[in-house]
DNA sequence: ACGAGACGGAACGGTTGCGTCCCGACTTCA
DNA sequence: TGAAGTCGGGACGCAACCGTTCCGTCTCGT
């Protein structure tokens, strides 16, 4: 986050507060109107501040949203890999379902996914802050399960990751259905049973996801 | 599509052509800039026409895009259900992969998915023209597989549909990876093997997907 | 006590968008 | 042949947005 070190008005307390207020307003505005539709004036209005306060912190709308992405990056996937594949999968599915079922998060993720196909800066920020860490975390506990023999040695990692990540996010992001405990349980169970089926040549290489 | 019955300039030939040119331009513009960023002036410019020609056909930008959705609806899922579950799945995965790997289609689908969370009109059009027919088609060949005993009688249909639709679309829409024959083959095989695992209480009700 | 600096608020110029209207050119149907 | 109706093109009024620049106020550090 761009640092502002005010000497003026209520520095000790407000140094965080003003920036945080703007960030919160920007997140809400982003969820409501989308990246393309979001206006800096509306963010300022919602934050109860002037536009100048925004441009004192970020040079542009894009830079601001890139910073916002890091805010979401903090809500991350549990570590896992401690010895229980079944538990790791369940924890992952639950974490993703909990995070993404928040309508604000859901809308922003959908919107930035679409926008990233158009905007290289956002795409890179989204990849490095969200997608790669998430994929890396899954990769780690899958690999450790292979090492323990809980999954076959010739596991097709790409396919397994598609199954794990894709199936988990699909319903939350693309259907209007409720995501409750029974859904988490059923999906986790299916993934756990299907993971050992992810075999194959498995030499497809990928970057993102 | 809103009908225009010109008596003027090259009616016989151009009656289709002008409308089609506008539609093509709108599709291209929609893919490049997204719904929120798309301007009617840019569509007209790209089509080599005046804005009046657009507003003679549609009352607004939203109405125009709603009509565009029907254009995509024509590219639909194969029927299936003829007796070979494995073949149905393979055909479905291939059809979806082929359609969505076109960057224009991919961007529009991503964009409208995000926009639909905000715009009720687009959401409804997208649902009825794309999601429901697709889901219904899958449902049909899954049900017929159950009737033939190729899938268990207590199949959790929602879960099976998540597996089929979600897994197929995930990589195409959300990763930068190539989607080639080996991917289609591996994904199809996984789905076919995992479908019988979709059991459960299965009383989660849903609308879309 | 005083200067520094961030604050909310308002206005600016320039650009872009939507949706409407009008124009002269053109082609078809009756 | 003439009326009808679409055509591309351009201009319009109105609104919104971006990013900048002021203003007067307020609170700090020194």
For B31-65, the pLDDT digits (tens) are: 999 999 999 999 999 999 989 999 999 999 999 99
Provide φ and ψ at B48, rounded to 5°.
65, 45
Closest CA to B167 of A157, A185, A161: A161
Q: Is B166 exposed, middle or buried (0-12, 13-18, 19+ CB in 10 A)?
A: buried
For A26-70, the pLDDT digits (tens) are: 999 999 999 999 999 999 999 999 999 999 999 999 999 999 998
Residue A51 CA distance to nucleotide C11 C1' (Å): 12
What domains can be seen in chain A, in order of their start residue? 11-68 (1.10.10.60), 75-197 (1.10.357.10)
> Nearest nucleotide, C1' to the C-alpha of A56?
C6
A48 is near strand D: CB distance < 7 Å:
no
> Which residue's CA shows the smallest distance to C1' of D9?
B50
Residue B7 CA distance to nucleotide D5 C1' (Å): 6
Which residues lie below 8 Å from residue A40, measured CB to CB, with a gap of 6+?
A51, A54, A55, A61, A64
The percentage of residues in chain B with a pLDDT greater than 90, rounded to a whole number, is: 61
3-state helix, strand, coil in chain B (%, to 5): 70, 0, 30
Residues in chain A: 209
Q: Using alpha carbons only, what angle is made at residue B63 by residues B57 and B64, rounded to the nearest 5 degrees?
A: 60
- The DSSP 8-state label assigned to residue A194 in this structure reads H
Considering CB atoms only, which of A32, A162, A194 is closest to B171?
A162
A52 is near strand D: CB distance < 7 Å:
yes
A36 is near strand D: CB distance < 7 Å:
no
Which nucleotides of chain C have an atom under 7 angstroms from any protein CB? 3-11, 16-23, 25-29
Measured in angstroms, the CA of A25 and the nearest CA of chain B are apart by 18
* Mutate which: A174, A187, A188, A209, vs B, most B CBs within 10 A: A174
Secondary structure class of B107 (helix, strand, coil): helix
User: pLDDT by residue for chain B (209 residues), tens digit each?
Assistant: 555 655 444 444 444 688 899 999 999 999 999 999 999 999 999 999 989 999 999 999 999 999 999 877 766 666 766 778 999 999 999 999 999 999 999 999 999 999 999 999 899 999 999 999 989 999 999 999 999 999 999 999 999 999 999 999 998 998 877 788 999 999 999 999 999 999 976 444 443 33
Q: Measure the CA–CA gap between B104 and B124, rounded to whole angstroms.
A: 21
Residue B128 CA distance to nucleotide C16 C1' (Å): 34
Residue A48 CA distance to nucleotide D20 C1' (Å): 19
């Amino acid at each position: 986050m761009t640092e502002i070190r005010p000497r003026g008005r209520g520095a000790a307390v407000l140094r965080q507060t003003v920036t945080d207020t703007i960030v919160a307003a920007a997140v809400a505005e982003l969820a409501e109107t989308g990246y393309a539709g979001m206006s800096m004036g509306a963010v300022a209005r919602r934050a109860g501040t002037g536009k100048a306060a925004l441009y004192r912190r970020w040079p542009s709308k894009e830079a601001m949203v890139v910073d916002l992405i890091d805010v979401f990056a903090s809500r991350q996937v549990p570590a896992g890999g401690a010895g229980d594949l079944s538990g790791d999968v369940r924890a992952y599915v639950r974490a993703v379902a909990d995070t993404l079922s928040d309508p604000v998060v859901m809308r922003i993720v959908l919107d930035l996914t679409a926008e990233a196909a158009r905007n290289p800066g956002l795409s890179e920020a989204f990849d490095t802050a969200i997608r790669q860490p998430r994929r890396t975390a899954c990769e780690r506990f899958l690999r450790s399960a292979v090492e323990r023999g809980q999954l076959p040695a010739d596991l097709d990692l790409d396919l397994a990751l598609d199954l794990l990540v894709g199936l988990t996010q699909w319903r939350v992001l693309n259907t209007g259905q409720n995501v409750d405990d029974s859904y988490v349980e059923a999906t986790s169970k299916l993934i756990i049973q299907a993971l050992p089926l992810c075999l194959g040549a498995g030499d497809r290489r990928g970057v993102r996801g």
